[in-house]
Structure formats: structure tokens, C-alpha cells
Chains A and B, each alone.
Chain A
Amino acid sequence: MSELLDAFQLAFMQRAMVASIVVGALASYFGVFVVQRRLSFLGVGLSHAAFGGVALGLLLQVDPMWVALPFTVVVALGINVVTHRGDIAGDTAIGIFFAVAIALGVVFLALTPRYTADAFAYLFGSILAVKTSDVWLVGGIAAITLLLLPMWGRWAYASFDRDLARAGRVPVQRDDLLLSVLLAVTIVASVKIAGIILVAAFLVIPAATARLLTSRFRSMTILSVSIGSFTAAGGLVLSYVFDIPSGATIVLFQAVLFFLAFVFHR
């Protein structure tokens, strides 16, 4: 126990803990809209789009996070614009952008000398990689999300029925764009903790667990955020204790809660 407490005296562990809790809360907050709108594939698509941005950052030898951020936002906006034109279904648009981003990432990595170790840290997550600037990034996104809390009602309304919201003069398309951008930056901010491969789970599993346990969207949101931040903190501690990767540990912790909720919910 004292060894564990000692570990959390270390600056890198403190950074990882703060970032994990905030990222867990953010991802599971946006996750309720993702789950309720059946957009889980969007989370997967955007996280893999981040791979293209990370690879470009490694190629250009600049901090991959700051390249992945605009790269993923552009992909999110692209998916949104193509989907709203109406000719292409949402999952098809995600599939196209997802594949293009991965292909670009592979090409960028192929052009990058000695990339392997860095790329693996982003693919699978590494708490050692969490820097002070990453904590500031996560904090900035959290501050913006708090300022935009009044948007919850409009996003929830459009999640319930888009046409009903549009008929009520809610600017659904503009709100969707904002949600997509926030989703993209949250995913990029989560990459160092969860890893590109697993970050979509941060969006989906806490929200799905909360859905099983509640019958109101408000309580689903509160519970999802609670589960997201709790599992992120708990998973990080477990990952240290058992010396296993943080992202996978957090996701497995979330999955255990999901299956317990699935078995025991009425």
C-alpha cells in the first residue's frame, strides 16, 4: 500500500491520474450522446483517424498530439458534411474517412525513420507519455465542456428525435458539428491514456452501463460520467499494481462493470 502511495508522489503518476480521471469523465459525458444516437462506430472511426494525425506528427517531428488534434477535427467535420448531404449514409462516410486516415497513417509511418516505439505508445496508450502539456489540453477541453453544459438539453433533444428538435427551431446541424468537434478533441486527448485502439471504449462502455442502470437521460449522463472517471482512476491504479498497460486495464475494468450491470439489471 505504501509502495502505491509512494508511486503517486511521482509527478508522472500524478499527471496520469489527473488526465485519466478528466478524460474518463469527458469521454463518458459525450458517450451518452454517442450511444443514444447509435454512433459507436463514429468513436472507432475518429480514434483511428487520430492515428493518421499522430503518424504525421511523428513524420514532421512535432508533438503528435498537436497534429492529431486538427487532423481528427477535420476528419470529424468531413464525416459530418458528407453525411448531412444525404446521399451517403453515416456509417459509410465514417468507413471511408476511417480507411483514408489509416492509409495516410501507414504511409506517414513508412516515411518516418525509427518510428516503432513512439507509434506503439500511441496505439496502446502509455501513462509514461503523459506530459504537462497534455494535462493542460485535457483541462482546456474540460473547461470548454463545462461552459457548454447548457448544450446538454439540445443535444439530448436531438438524440431523442432530430425532426422534433428541428421543428422546434433547434439548430441541429450546427449543434452536431460542435458535438463532433468536441468528440474529436476528447478522443485525441484520451489517446495517451487509452491508446488509439481502445479509446472508443471510453465513449461507449460507461454510457452503455449507465443506460442499463437508469431510466432517465439525466441520470444516465450523471452515472456515465461517474463510471467513466471512477474506472479511469481505478484502472490506472490496477495497471500500476499489476504492471500492465493502463488503457487495456481501464477498458477491462469498465467491461466488468458493464457485464455486472447487464446480468443484474431488471
Chain B
Amino acid sequence: MPAPAVSVSDLTVRFGDHRVLDDITFEAHQGDFVAVVGPNGAGKTTLLKVLLGLASPDNGIARIFGKPPRESDSGVVGYVPQIKTLDRSFPAQSIELVVSGLYEHWPFSLSEEDRERALDALRHVDAEDLAERALSRLSGGELQRVYLARSLIRTPRVVILDEPATGIDVVGSTDLYELLDDYQETHQATVLMVTHDWNAAYHHATHVLLLDGRQVGYGPPETALKEECLREAFGHIGHAHAMMIGDRHE
């Protein structure tokens, strides 16, 4: 039986005396779209950092296709960081950022082959026209597409995204989720996305991991996003639960 794409078992991460993540256990298989949902400080980004090999667990294990994240094969994981972390003063064109995903260093020059691959990746996210544009001149939605092209250029089997819709309007975020759905279906990839957007989690994810430092729920959106689970994680949910309307993406 093949190893799960992502497996986390009894994972605990502490910052000093504070348990940021406490005893988290879940598995995601090829073709799963996992939305990680929870209030601020719930440990969502810390979980992503563990899966990317940027943070070490104090207890428990995390595996990508059976290997510790730092030992997973190059190109298996594609990562889309929060765009608010981008240094817009860095002098670069979109195509350079995309090519950086090929080699994991900043390109000094672009070969014809690099350029073709980058343009192809940009074409897939409908952003070919942004190739020569300076990063500082991109809107939030455009930048997110470029980051997505960068993360997908090596056709990763696992795509990890940290709040990809932050700072993007409704149309832009809908387009982004549809691109993710399309990639996941075409390549049977596993998508793991931290989000504050319950609607996106409900409509696009196959599984939802609801966190509040500890694991409040994990399962299909209909189960994990039940009102009592959300109330347990967030304290109160106002009218938000009623907003999760419409058909789920199938």
C-alpha cells in the first residue's frame, strides 16, 4: 500500500512553554484537497512549517510520502507563501520568480528552455502576459498567480498554500481555487491549504482540518465544519455558518 501523501501523527510543537500544536493526527492521500481552518493562533501556519521542514516538532512525526519533510525528494512539494510576506522592493520580473522554482536559487540568466517552461507554467494559471512585469507592479491576485505558477512549474505531487486568498478580491480568489481544483484533478495532486475562508473550505476541499491548537475535527467539510465544531474552535460563529451556501465543487 503506497504511503499517504501527507501523514501527521501525534504532532506537538511548543514555543517555550506554550503548545502551539497539541497532538495533531491526520492523513491526506493523493487527490485530497485539505483545508486547514482555525482562528488566529490556532497553529495553522506552524503546521505548514513542519510539513515544509521549516520547523521541528517537539513530539510526533510528519511525513511526505513516507519521508521526513527535510528528506523528501526535491520537487515533490510546491509551496505558495502568504503574499503579504513578499518584499516588493526586490527588483525582479515575474518570470524570474517562476524560474526560481525550477532550481531553488535565483536565476542569473534565463535559458531558452527555462523561459519556455516558465511561460508554460504562467500560461496554466492564465498569467502569461505578466511574465516580463516587475513584481512590484503586480496586484495581489496577479502576484498569487505568479507564485502559483512558480510552485507548479515542477508539477509537484503535494501543493502547500498559506492563506492564498488574503488580499485578493472575490473574483480573484474564486479563479485561484478553480485553478487549484483543476490542478488537483488533472495531476491527482494533494493540496493542503491554510485558509480563513470557510466558504472556500466548504466548497473546494475534500477534507477540512479544524484546529484550535489542538485538533477539533478532521473529515469531509460537512462533518468538520458542523456548527458545534466551529463553535468549539472559534468560541462563537455569528452568522458565518449560514454563509456556506451553494453546491460543493465535485
Q: Of A160, A167, A211, which contacts B106 at CB under 8 A?
A: A160
| Any B CB within 8 A of the CB of A220 | yes
B63-92 vs A, CB cutoff 8 Å, 1 = contact: the mask equals 000000010001001010100011101111
| Residue on B nearest A211 in the bound complex, by CB | B91
- Whether A152 lies near B108 (C-beta < 8 A) is yes
Most buried by A among B49, B74, B87, B91: B91
Per-position 1/0 for A119-155, Cβ under 8 A of B = 0000000000000000000000000000000001110
Q: Which residues of B contact A161 (CB under 8 A)?
A: 81, 85-87
Most chain A beta-carbon contacts within 10 A, residue among B103, B106, B109: B106
- Chain B residues, CB < 8 A from A36: 87, 89-90
Select which of A163, A170, A215, A218 is within 8 A of B104 by beta carbon: A170
Complex contact A220–B105 (CB within 8 A): no
Q: Kindly state whether residue B3 has any CB partner on chain A within 8 Å.
A: no
Are A217 and B106 in contact, CB atoms less than 8 angstroms apart? Answer: yes
Within 8 A of B (CB), among A153-169: 153-154, 156-157, 159-161, 163-169
**Is B92 in contact with A160, judged by CB distance below 8 angstroms?**
yes
B100 touches A157 (CB 8 A): yes
Contact B81 A164 (CB under 8 A): yes
Q: How far is the CB of B89 from chain A (nearest CB, A)?
A: 7
Q: A161-B85, A161-B86 are in contact. Are A153 and B91 (CB under 8 A)?
A: no
Closest-by-CB residue of A relative to B150 is: A164
Beta-carbon contacts of B43-59 to A below 8 Å, as 1s and 0s?
00000010011100000
> Does B90 contact A157, Cβ atoms closer than 8 Å?
no
Q: Which residue on chain B has the smallest CB distance to residue A32?
A: B91
A263: min CB distance to chain B, Å: 19
Q: Does B155 contact A (CB under 8 A)?
A: no
* Cβ B54 vs Cβ A167 within 8 A: yes
CB under 8 Å from chain B, chain A span 211-265: 211, 214-220
Query: Known contacts A36-B90, A215-B91: does B54 contact A156 (CB below 8 Å)?
Result: no
A168 to B77, CA, bound (A): 9
Q: Which residue of A is nearest B162, CB measured?
A: A163
Q: Is the CB of A169 within 8 A of B90?
A: no
Taken together as a complex, chains A and B put the C-alpha atoms of A258 and B92 apart, in Å, by: 21
B212 at the interface (CB under 8 A from A): no
Contact B105 A153 (CB under 8 A): yes
CB neighbours (8 Å) of A156 from chain B are 105-106
* A217 and B92 within 8 A (CB): yes
CA distance A218 to B104 in the complex (A): 16
Query: Nearest-CB distance from B40 to chain A (Å)?
Result: 19
Q: Do A157 and B104 have beta carbons less than 8 Å apart?
A: yes
The yes or no answer to B138 lying at the interface (CB within 8 A) is no
**Which among B93, B104, B134 has the greatest number of chain A C-beta atoms within 10 A?**
B104
Q: CB distance B90 to A160 under 8 Å?
A: yes
CB distance from A138 to the nearest CB of B (A): 25
Q: Are B93 and A216 in contact (CB under 8 A)?
A: yes
Residue contact B104 to A165, C-beta cutoff 8 Å: yes
Are A154 and B105 in contact, CB atoms less than 8 angstroms apart?
Answer: yes
B4 proximal to A (CB < 8 A): no
Q: B96 at interface (Cβ–Cβ under 8 A)?
A: yes
Closest residue to A155 on the B side, CB-wise?
Answer: B106
Q: Are B81's CB and A214's CB within 8 A?
A: no
Judge if B220 is at the interface, Cβ distance under 8 Å. no
Quote the shortest CB–CB distance from B168 to chain A (angstroms): 19
Chain B residues near A168 (CB, 8 Å)?
104-105
In the bound complex, residues from chain A placing their C-beta under 8 Å from that of B89 are 36, 211
Contact (Cβ within 8 A) A157 B109 = no
Closest Cβ–Cβ distance, residue A206 to chain B (whole Å): 15
14 CB contacts below 8 A, A to B, read A36-B89, A152-B106, A153-B106, A160-B106, A161-B81, A163-B81, A164-B81, A165-B104, A169-B104, A214-B91, A215-B92, A216-B96, A218-B108, A219-B91
Other contacts beyond A160-B92, A215-B134: 8, CB < 8 A: A153-B103, A153-B107, A154-B105, A160-B100, A167-B79, A169-B104, A217-B96, A219-B91
**6 nearest CB pairs, A to B:** A168-B104, A153-B105, A156-B106, A157-B106, A167-B52, A153-B106
